[in-house]
Amino acid sequence: MVLTARRLASELGAWRGAGPAYGALTDRIRLLTLDGRIPLRTRLPAERELAAELGISRTTVAAAYAGLREAGYLLSTRGSGSVVTIPGGRDTVENTDGRTATTLDFSKAALPAAPQVGEAAVRAAQTLPAYLGDTGYDLVGLPRLRQALAARYTSRGVPTEPENIMVTVGAQHAISLIAKTFLSRSDTALMEAPSYPHAYDALGSRARRLVTVPVDARNGWDDNGLAQTFQRAKPALAYVMPDFHNPTGAVMPVHQRELLMDLARRHGCLVVADETTADLSIDVPPGKPLAAYGPAMLVGSMGKTVWGGLRVGWIRAEPEKIKLLEQARYAHDLGTPILEQLIALELLGNYDEVLRFRRIQLAEGRDHVEDLLRSHFPVWDVPHVAGGLCTWVNIGQPVSSQLALAARDGGLPLGAGPRFGLGGAFERFLRFPFSYPAEETSVAVDILANAWRRVEPHRRVEKDFKPALV
């Protein structure tokens, strides 16, 4: 893959800092590589091309590339250009005081396995022999699992039969399969901004262009923005996350659900609602699924509620769309593993118990994170969220990428704001998960405080913290 100078310039966003330009450029490309916005083995543009696009000297670009090569993030071969890579073997990082600390990975908003997973796996393994006489290839899912999922949707106010369900290898697989089946190279896709980064990747790889509608942590979606985007862009597909939106935590009210589905109907747009966080309520229940207001496709998963290591997701749609997905699936995979489906089936038997446990766990984590961030960073805007896995913090200055890189160097990978947008947007925001144990969260905020001090030394943090050993 070759990254053009124009595309790289767009991803860089507002990359210039207070120090030397070559150092700022080195740091920004390093962050883009670490958080996946520049895939490994991507060839960067030639020095002269990037210099012209950014309006800087070729010497500056050459120095930045040299810094990346020296740090192990770039491999250059005469005649073949410079290819992005990542240095290996770093399990620990060194803090500014010379001590080492194990890296805490807060770039993922995820939970450890629910305590019910182990017992469910044992029970599932005991039922597996009954399925060993079949081939094991299963494109749509075990009938019993599809029936159980259909029953849950029916209980939520959306009458559903097993024929409405396809079981997938997690939610990301479902989103990618939908994009490949229902988007063409001439189509426009609508997404929220900010949004789930891998959904940008999946839809962006198929659609001609992506258009966005803003979502705000406090104010949610904008009615006029939705209407105008549908009118101007005529999207073929709209991807939304209406319940405990990632990363803002917003919940779409009833009138906007009705508006969205009415706009989609009038403009002939397929709506895909990502419900992977819908069951992670803390203070308020999720809204009615969008399929209650019109023919929306729903994507669900156990990855956020139960465990990311259980790769079971699903799609709820009209039977004719499930048939199209089944036909398209042959080119990509031959079904979801049987044992994992059996584990999911066992867990659905006491799913409400799992969700009650998660509600308590997430409430404690959210309250702890909000208290810590507000006390350590009084100038930041930390919204209160009613569910989900993270909070979308406004740090007040366009330095999110610099802050995330400084935190990573201190042992704390974090999701910089631009990772959740297009073209370098959201430099004033940072996603901070509250799904980790309290002691790890406390250490993470300590590291973040030191990183903030290095990025914005004139800004006050409440206390003089030092990163603790973990």
Pick the last residue of a domain from 285, 318, 349.
349
Q: Which of 61-75, 158-172, 246-260, 314-328 has the lowest mean pLDDT?
A: 61-75
pLDDT per residue as tens digits for the range 388-431: 999 999 999 999 999 999 999 999 999 999 999 998 899 999 99
Res 77: pLDDT: 77
Give the domain CATH number at 433. Answer: 3.90.1150.10
pLDDT band at 10 (very low <50, low <70, confident <90, very high): confident
Same domain? 48 vs 109: no
Residue-level pLDDT at 103: 64
Residue 465 belongs to some domain of the structure: no
Residue 233 CA: distances (Å) to CA of 39, 248, 252: 29, 24, 22
Residue 469 lies in a domain: no
- 395 and 311 in a common domain: no
In a domain, 464, yes or no: no
pLDDT at 424: 83
Give the pLDDT confidence score for residue 229 in this predicted structure: 96
- Indicate the pLDDT class of residue 305, thresholds 50, 70 and 90: very high
Residues 178 and 265 in one domain: yes
Residue 15 lies in a domain: yes
> How far, in Å, CA of 96 to CA of 232, rounded?
51
Whether 227 and 178 share a structural domain:
yes
Domain hosting residue 391, numbered range: 92-113+353-455
Give residue-wise pLDDT tens across range 332-364.
899 999 999 999 999 999 999 999 999 999 999
429 touches 214 (CB < 8 A): no
Residues 269 and 122 in one domain: yes
Average pLDDT over residues 269-281: 97
Task: Write out pLDDT tens, residues 197-212.
Answer: 999 999 999 999 999 9
pLDDT of residue 307: 97
pLDDT digits (tens, 9 = 90+) for 114-140: 999 999 999 999 999 999 999 999 899
CATH of the domain at 69: 1.10.10.10
349, 381, 399 - which closes a domain: 349
Residues 370, 258 within the same domain? no
The pLDDT of 298-302, averaged and rounded, is: 98
Kindly state whether residues 357 and 227 are assigned to the same domain: no
For residues 204 and 295, membership in a common domain is answered with yes
Q: 314 and 201, same structural domain?
A: yes
Question: 328 lies in a domain?
Answer: yes
**58 in any annotated domain:** yes
Distance CA 43, CA 40 (A): 9
* pLDDT tens by residue, 86-104: 886 443 444 444 433 446 8
Nearest alpha carbon to residue 129 among 339, 311, 347, 349: 339
pLDDT at 76: 81
In a domain, 461, yes or no: no
Quote the pLDDT of residue 88.
65
Q: Tell me: the pLDDT tens digits for 178-188? A: 999 999 999 99
Give the per-residue pLDDT at 2.
Answer: 84
pLDDT score for 90: 40
Residues 155 and 42 in one domain: no
Give me the number of domains the chain comprises. Answer: 3
Please report the pLDDT score of residue 466 as a whole number: 41
| Whether residue 364 sits in one domain with residue 340 | no
pLDDT digits (tens, 9 = 90+) for 448-461: 999 999 987 555 45
Q: Is residue 249 part of a domain?
A: yes
Strands of the 415-416 sheet, one edge to the other:
390-394, 429-433, 415-416
Q: In this predicted structure, which of 31-35, 70-74, 293-297 has the lowest mean pLDDT?
A: 31-35
pTM: predicted TM-score of the whole model, two decimal places? 0.85
Closest to 5 in 3D by CA, of 41, 34, 35, 47: 47
Query: Which pLDDT value is given to residue 362?
Result: 97
What CATH number should be reported for the domain holding residue 259? 3.40.640.10
Residue 152's pLDDT band (boundaries 50, 70, 90)? very high
Give the pLDDT score at 11.
85
170 and 319, same structural domain? yes
Q: Is the pLDDT of residue 255 over 90?
A: yes
